[in-house]
């Protein structure tokens, strides 16, 4: 599914994470598609891309506190002792 597969409304909803969020610490979430990750403290993040035409998977990266990263992932893992909000697409 490439970026041009979405209607304008769908694309806006996806980028804004309007399907809700999960508060995650030391866990993996994989029951939804996730479109943004906000680090509440410095976090270790691993994420599996659900749309490799546009976004790559993340292989254990450090995200500084307060930063938000965007993508489209089928699974997100937040490291031990780390806190993040993971937004559903």
pLDDT in tens, 25-77: 999 999 898 989 999 999 999 999 988 887 788 888 999 999 999 888 999 99
Which parts of the chain are beta strand (E)?
21-29, 34-39, 43-49, 58-63, 68-88
Tokens representing residue 44 in the block: 């270790």
The more confident residue out of 5 and 53 is: 53
Alpha carbons 2 and 65: distance in angstroms, whole number: 30
pTM greater than the 0.85 cutoff: no
Bridge partners, 88 (sequence order):
34
């Amino acid at each position: 599914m490439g970026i041009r597969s979405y209607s304008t409304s769908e694309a806006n909803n996806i980028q804004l994470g309007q399907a809700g969020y999960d508060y995650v610490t030391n866990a993996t979430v994989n029951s939804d598609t996730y479109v943004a990750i906000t680090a509440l403290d410095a976090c270790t993040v691993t994420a599996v891309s659900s749309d490799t035409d546009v976004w790559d998977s993340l292989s254990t990266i450090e995200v500084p506190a307060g930063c938000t990263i965007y993508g489209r992932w089928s699974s997100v893992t937040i490291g031990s002792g780390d806190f993040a909000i993971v937004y559903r697409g």
